[in-house]
Amino acid sequence: MNKTGAKIVLWLLIIGMLVFTAVRTVHFLQLTFPPDQRYVAYIGLVAFDVGVLGWFYFATAGATGAAQRAVAYGMIFVCAAGVIATTVADMTLVSASNGLSKLPQDVGTIGLWAVIIVICLNFLAGIIAHLVDPKHLQQMKEEHLRDRIIAATHEHMAQQTDTIAPQIAAKTAQHWADSITAELTGKLPPVNNNGHIQPKNATRP
């Protein structure tokens, strides 16, 4: 019971902090959009607060293979770092605008670059996670082996060209000659028993 209660308290703490940081992240992301497109900032949560939960779930329940797990666990910390960066930047900017503190130099630029890097890494990590899937890697190995077999077959055929080509050419030429002969002789008029050409309308005795 104590362990279950401790886990519940921990998850409530995590969810509460994620809600707080999500609000800060959305507010900071809205600053990077025109006023009529600020709603798009909510989609950006996929790379930050939602990304932490998404990559955590994938790492613990869906990732297979060492490479895929490494990508998933690494992206948990990348998304978490992005959440921290946007939260710090937003709190600093808002506090400075409210006169609570002085705005440190380039804090907005640093936060903006953190957003760009985290979003790009999420995009690349999604592709890499698919590429390093064990099933996909197995398929790639099979295709590589198939390519090697085909290449070896073609190389062997090229080596046997000088031996096989004359034989094939001779058989092809003979077949062509036989076909032409049959075609031309079939058009000749019939010959009677005396060796003379028989007229077409004549009947044999």
Mapping DSSP onto H, E and C, the string for 174-196 reads HHHHHHHHHHHHCCCCCECCCCC
Kindly report, residue by residue over 178-204, the tens digit of the pLDDT. 888 887 776 666 666 665 555 555 554
pLDDT at 110: 87
35 and 115 together in one domain = yes
Using a pLDDT cut of 70, give the percent of the chain over it: 90
Residue 123: pLDDT band by 50, 70, 90 thresholds? Answer: very high
Per DSSP, 203 falls in state: -
Global pTM value: 0.67
153 and 135 together in one domain = no
Kindly report, residue by residue over 13-66, the tens digit of the pLDDT. 988 998 999 999 999 999 888 888 888 889 988 899 999 999 999 999 988 889
User: Mean pLDDT highest for which of 5-14, 30-39, 112-121?
Assistant: 112-121
Number of domains in the chain: 2
User: 91-102: string of b/e by CB count within 10 Å (b at 16+)?
Assistant: ebbeeeeeeeee
Residue 78: pLDDT band by 50, 70, 90 thresholds? Answer: very high
99 and 19 together in one domain = yes
Phi–psi pair at 191, nearest 5 degrees? -120, 135
In sequence order, which residues have a C-beta less than 8 Å from that of residue 49 and are 6 or more positions away?
Answer: 18, 21, 22, 25, 79, 83
Domain interval for residue 45: 2-139
42 and 99 together in one domain = yes
Each as own residue / partner, the long-range contacts of residues 39-45 (CB below 8 Å, 24 or more positions apart, any chain) are: 44/115, 44/119
pLDDT at 205: 46
Specify if 144 maps to a domain: no
Residues 118/79/63/60 CA torsion (nearest 10 deg): 180
pLDDT at 190: 66
Each as own residue / partner, the long-range contacts of residues 55-63 (CB below 8 Å, 24 or more positions apart, any chain) are: 55/79, 55/125, 58/129, 63/129
pLDDT at 193: 63
pLDDT at 121: 95
pLDDT at 201: 55
69 and 106 together in one domain = yes
Confidence check: pLDDT of 104 > 80: no
Specify if 105 maps to a domain: yes
What is the three-class DSSP state of 199?
coil
Kindly report, residue by residue over 134-178, the tens digit of the pLDDT. 888 888 889 999 999 999 888 888 887 778 888 888 889 888 888
92 and 192 together in one domain = no
Specify if 39 maps to a domain: yes
- Give the C-alpha separation, 65 to 169, whole Å: 54
76 and 95 together in one domain = yes
Specify if 10 maps to a domain: yes
The domain boundary residue, chosen from 139, 157, 181: 139
Residue with tokens 């703490």: 13
92 and 190 together in one domain = no
The domain boundary residue, chosen from 93, 112, 139: 139
12 and 71 together in one domain = yes
14 and 110 together in one domain = yes
